Amino acid sequence: MTNKTLIGIGISGTALASVCCFTPALVILAGTLGISAWLWAADFVLLPALIFFAGLTAYGFTRKETPC
């Protein structure tokens, strides 16, 4: 994967995870769909995903690409 791809995936994943973590968007969406019973475990998934995608973004910025 190129650095540009890693950075794009990392930024989009971080943005999505942060919207679900720090705003009530996930609660409203799950309540509308009728699947709000699983929200008790949402932090166990969203916070590690946020950390992973932030790390992926940092890795994309710091990785040195070697020419073939």
Instruction: Quote the number of domains for the chain.
Output: 1
Residue 37 in domain: yes
How big is the chain, counted in residues?
Answer: 68
Residue 52 in domain: yes
Per-position b or e across 12-39, b if 16+ CB within 10 A of its CB:
ebbeebeebeeeeebeeebeeeeeeeee
Residue 32 in domain: yes
Residue 11 in domain: yes
Domain containing residue 30:
3-62
The SS3 of residue 68 is coil
Q: How confident is the model at residue 8 (pLDDT cuts 50, 70, 90)?
A: very high
Residue 36 in domain: yes
pLDDT 10s digits, 26-35:
778 878 888 7
pLDDT 10s digits, 44-66:
888 888 899 999 999 989 987 77
- Which is higher by pLDDT, 12 or 37? 12
pLDDT at 3 over 80: yes
Q: What is the pTM of this model?
A: 0.72
Residue 68 in domain: no
